[in-house]
Amino acid sequence: MRKKQTHHLVYLGVRGAWLAASGAVLFVAMFFQARILPGVHVGVVSIGGLTRQEATSRVARAFTDQRLVLEASNRTWRISANELGADCDVASAIDAAFAVGRTSGLTDTVYRTVARSPIITTCTWSDGTLHARLADIAAQVGAPPQNATLTYQNGTFEIVPDHDGAVFGIQAFKDQVTQSISVGAAATVHLASSVGTAAVTSDDLKEPKQVAEALLTRQLTLIAHGTQFHVQRDQLAHWIIVQVMTRTDAHTVASLAPVLVGAKVTVGFDDAAMRAYLESLAAQVDVAPQPQETLMSAHKVEVMKDGVPGSQLAVDEALSKLMQDVSTGDTVTLDLPMIEVPFPILYVTPPPAPVPTGKAIGVDITTQMEYDYEDGVLVYSSKISSGIHDWTPVGTFHVLGKTVKQKMSGPGYYVPNVPWILWFKAGGYSLHGVYWHHDFGIRPRSHGCVGEPLTEAEWIYHWADVGIPVVIYKS
């Protein structure tokens, strides 16, 4: 009986402990429903009990404030991970921290809450930023290896010799920095260096130098609108480029218009420099279009001044031809391709009507134009030829009469069958059609009358009424 009672007491004790543990876990789960469970760390940064926003802010601040100590050649630099181009994935680390202890199953929940390890962040690198920062440090420690180069001076190419320099173990350095900043702890990182040799030596440039010198002797003549442009030696040198080729790079080789493609060095013409030259040439040879001046009226579209198309250097096409020709020929003459540029249309505003109502004719002997109005609106227009020596009278007149056709004569002229006559001043002054010349809108030609092209004269004759005003003026 006593043994049975003992077993019962043990059962009750275990059950009570289980219930107490369950209650504690439930209490923790309820209290920390919107918070990270206690004891959770991202690296060395404690974020237990914090909300997601609070934890994100604390971890981000820790990584931003964290300074690394870099050592190289007995010198030190204090620098942040961001300045080295490292970007830590704080958001993913906080997601992982928030998930700790929240998987299904009571045993797993208790285990993950009690037996946890720090969460490690992952980092990505901006290699451009890292290499630029390390290059700055390297310049203070020791110059890196320098390749031999070709330089153009005083009309010839010269070889600038190579020399050895310090080389840093970039990948090992990145691994050390990543390990340090991923846990948010300050650390000292050693930047190891060794002596490195140049990839391109002076001997490697002997043949490229000979090729470049030969390219300088090429004769290039570009022609546009009949004008010749001779490419000078110094300009050719600016086009020639010596490219170090550390791998097969078809795009780079093609863009160079290569003449020599070697294992280490490619010599050719730089398309960017050639394009810049052609664009500067375009500023000299491009011709701007001249606009067509057009007058719109109710019954006619009058071209006051003919437009003239322009022309523009087709830079892309010219570059393609030039790169092909200069790469293969010692003497090159290239007619530069031009593109026709259409002329724009400029709509001209007519002068105001002489009177606001009714029909009226206005004649501008300066511009050699006639304007026909009705109730203040332009309904028709015509180019004209007025009298030489200012023989056409200026002033306000009226249509005195109309004659379909008749002979006109005077000192030095005799013209039969002059059509569509509108008389406006005594002494034989009229507006009429002209069939014996076509110099309308250009210059005066008559003995005082206002001459019009036949088609326009006929329209105006039928439209005009006797008595309407005729105003002749100089603009």
pLDDT digits (tens, 9 = 90+) for 59-86: 888 777 677 787 877 788 888 777 877 7
Cα–Cα distance between 268 and 215 in angstroms, integer?
9
Give the pLDDT score at 266. 83
Looking at the DSSP bridge assignments, the partners of residue 373 are: 360, 378
Six token digits for residue 253? 């080789």
CA–CA separation, 402 and 466 (whole Å): 7
Q: What is the distance between the alpha carbons of residues 204 and 340, in angstroms, rounded to a whole number?
A: 48
What is the residue type of 254? A
Which pLDDT belongs to residue 77?
A: 83
**Could you say which DSSP state residue 343 is in?**
P
The pLDDT of residue 13 is 55
Measured in whole angstroms, the distance separating CA 113 from the mean position of its chain's CA atoms is 57
Confidence at residue 60, expressed as pLDDT on a 0 to 100 scale: 81
Q: What is the pLDDT of residue 86?
A: 76
Q: How far is CA 27 from CA 2, 18, 33, 242, in A?
A: 37, 14, 10, 73
CA–CA separation, 262 vs 268, rounded Å? 11
Share in percent of the chain as helix, strand, coil (round to 5): 35, 35, 30
pLDDT tens, 134-159? 777 767 777 778 889 889 998 999 99
Q: What is the pLDDT of residue 43?
A: 73
Q: For 221-236, how does the pLDDT look when each residue is reduced to its tens digit (9 = 90+)? A: 999 999 999 999 999 9
SS3 234: helix
CA 303 to CA 386: how far, in whole Å? Answer: 19
Cβ within 8 Å of residue 460, ≥6 positions away: 361, 370, 372, 380, 382, 420, 422, 431, 452
DSSP state of 83: G
CATH numbers and ranges of domains, the chain:
22-139 (no CATH), 352-473 (2.40.440.10)
Which of the residues in the chain have pLDDT under 50? 1, 106-108, 111, 113-115, 246-255
Mode of pairing for the β-strands spanning 401-410 and 413-425: antiparallel
